[in-house]
Amino acid sequence: MAFDYDATDTPDEVVSAVAAEMSSGGLKEESDEERDKRFLANQAWREEQRRRDEQHRLAYQQERKAKAEADRREAAIAAAAVREQEQRKRSVRIERDVRDRELANLRLQSAQQAAWQRHVEQAAHNAVAQQYRDTLMGELEALINPPASPPESEPDVVYLDKDEMGSPHLGDPDFNPKLLTRIIRR
């Protein structure tokens, strides 16, 4: 029976057998067959250890590759989030700039409209003032140089029937329009 150094818990009978062998006067001489057997067992154990070490190394490499891939994915996600945030900031900045430009254009148009309105109002005021001055000058001119009176003409004589009432003269208070059409000129 060979001792298993890799076993985590050694059975009591193996421990007893090893202790008995050690106390019985030392180890007995091994035969060539036992030595070859032990050599082959050691070689098998070493091969098993090498395979296990290789499996551990491959598992460790796979873990490292998986972790590196996960780190790359996380970095890509973080970079995408940063790009998206920067894009949103850029969109907000562009919208703000466009809105500011539109407001500036509206202010400019409003100022131009107000200036145009002032010019129109000033022109209307100037036209009214000029009309007033022209009227005053015309009245002064009429007072200073009165118009020539029209030549006197013969008065029109109108004969009316005695039945008709009223006056044929336009300015009279008892003016009768029917009488105006019957004016007889002589």
Which of 52, 38, 39 shows the shortest CA–CA distance to 6? 52
Count of domains forming the chain: 2
How far is Cα 21 from Cα 28, in angstroms, rounded to an integer?
9
Q: Going residue by residue through the chain, which has 186 residues, state the pLDDT in tens, using 9 for 90 and above.
A: 566 666 667 677 877 777 777 776 655 677 888 888 889 999 999 999 999 999 999 999 999 999 999 999 999 999 999 999 999 999 999 999 999 999 999 999 999 999 999 999 999 999 999 999 999 998 888 888 877 777 777 766 666 555 566 776 777 777 776 666 666 543
On whether residue 175 sits in a domain, the answer given is yes
Note the pLDDT of residue 19: 74
pTM of full prediction above 0.85: no
Q: Examine the domain organization and report whether 176 and 104 are in the same domain.
A: no
Q: Examine the domain organization and report whether 62 and 40 are in the same domain.
A: yes
Q: Examine the domain organization and report whether 110 and 186 are in the same domain.
A: no
Q: Examine the domain organization and report whether 92 and 131 are in the same domain.
A: yes
How far is Cα 38 from Cα 1, in angstroms, rounded to an integer?
11
Give me the domain span that covers residue 170: 155-186
On whether residue 20 sits in a domain, the answer given is no
How far is Cα 30 from Cα 36, in angstroms, rounded to an integer?
10
Per DSSP, the three-state class of 147 is: coil
Q: Examine the domain organization and report whether 127 and 162 are in the same domain.
A: no
On whether residue 60 sits in a domain, the answer given is yes
Q: Examine the domain organization and report whether 51 and 140 are in the same domain.
A: yes
DSSP H or E run through 120: helix 32-144
Cβ atoms < 10 Å from Cβ of 107: 10
Q: Examine the domain organization and report whether 113 and 177 are in the same domain.
A: no
Note the pLDDT of residue 185: 45
Q: Examine the domain organization and report whether 53 and 138 are in the same domain.
A: yes
Q: Examine the domain organization and report whether 39 and 84 are in the same domain.
A: yes
